[in-house]
Amino acid sequence: MKKRDMNRDWIATARTLSEALPYLQRYDGAIVVIKFGGHAMGSDEAMETFARDVVLMQQVGVNPVIVHGGGPMINQMLEKLEIKSDFVNGKRVTDEATMEVVEMVLSGRVNKRIVQAINRQGGKAVGLSGKDANLITCDPADPRLGLVGDPTDINPDILRTLFADDAIPVIAPLGAGRNGETYNINGDTAAGAIAAALTADRLLLLTDVDGVRDASGAVVTELTADQIRQMTADGTIAGGMIPKTETALAAIDGGVRAVVILDGRAPNATLLELYTEHGAGSMIRAK
């Protein structure tokens, strides 16, 4: 590369940093909960980019909380162990044998991979599950589904303690039942409940799509809760987007300032959303 081109690149970088100043000030001290999952977790390169972005966010004053999924990894391990699953309305029944695998994969393989990736970038990540320090207490979501839970009580004290120590919580979506059971929780649901308990400034739901689309197929960059309800009622929002928008509405009702559904496969998606005028994905606010 010619020196002139290199200088031009450095100037562009400096301009970008300068333009980001109002957003850096805006999010100083803010709590941002990020649901990390899907194909964004698939490659080492994507994991490294995500981890670097999270560490950068913390360095400029954000308190990030990572809640992760791990469905594909769970499926792979169940197949490897030849554990067959039953399904009710397309949802897996989680019996005790399946739950052992779920906990092993989520709290072990997936959680520690994310923790290690963040620590390699200079962060101080701490891995835990919703069972730790009474973080998430659950009731059964549907008795037909077995050990699948809905969060009923969130105790965020451990997260605030970690913030004070400049640590980044990385949370596996598991919870404890009232009689000591272990429950598997939908990752989006867990992230929304934690964000509400922390009164987070932002909940970022990283998915494998660009955002919420209107009837013409175009991504809608800003939506209100009322628009989400109308688009769901008329069928514009359908399929796998419904649980995500339901999570968004519940989080907003719980006090989260805004929820963004964005494509986690896009490089630096979280930084684009927080620190640029353009943003990324679809932002949902109360009004």
pLDDT digits (tens, 9 = 90+) for 8-22: 665 565 566 666 666
How many domains does the chain divide into?
Answer: 1
pLDDT on residue 17: 63
260 in a domain, yes or no? yes
Q: Which of 287, 228, 277, 273 is nearest to 64 (CA)?
A: 273
98 in a domain, yes or no? yes
176 in a domain, yes or no? yes
The torsion angles phi and psi of 208, rounded to 5 degrees, stand at -105, 20
Using the predicted structure, report yes or no on whether residue 271 has a pLDDT greater than 90.
no
13 in a domain, yes or no? no
Question: Taking all residues of the chain, what is their mean pLDDT, rounded to a whole number?
Answer: 88
- Which pLDDT tens digit goes with each residue over 80-102? 999 988 888 767 889 999 999 99
Identify the domain containing residue 52 by its residue range: 22-285
Choose the weakest-confidence range: 127-136, 248-257, 277-286.
277-286
59 in a domain, yes or no? yes
| Helical spans, DSSP H, in the chain | 3-19, 21-26, 44-59, 71-80, 96-103, 111-120, 157-164, 187-197, 225-233, 241-253, 269-275
249 in a domain, yes or no? yes
| Helical spans, DSSP H, in 42-110 | 44-59, 71-80, 96-103
Q: b/e map of 55-73 (b: 16 or more CB within 10 Å)? A: bbbbeeebbbbbbbbbbeb
- Which pLDDT tens digit goes with each residue over 195-224? 999 999 999 999 888 889 888 888 888 999
CATH value at residue 155: 3.40.1160.10
pLDDT on residue 194: 98
Choose the weakest-confidence range: 28-37, 151-160, 166-175.
28-37
Share of the chain above pLDDT 90, in %: 60
Residue 242: both structure tokens together: 């419904």
Give SS3 for 232: helix
Distance CA 97, CA 56 (A): 40
- Which pLDDT tens digit goes with each residue over 240-256? 888 899 999 999 999 99
Number of H helices and number of E strands within the chain?
11, 14
Using the predicted structure, report yes or no on whether residue 33 has a pLDDT greater than 70.
yes
pLDDT on residue 140: 94
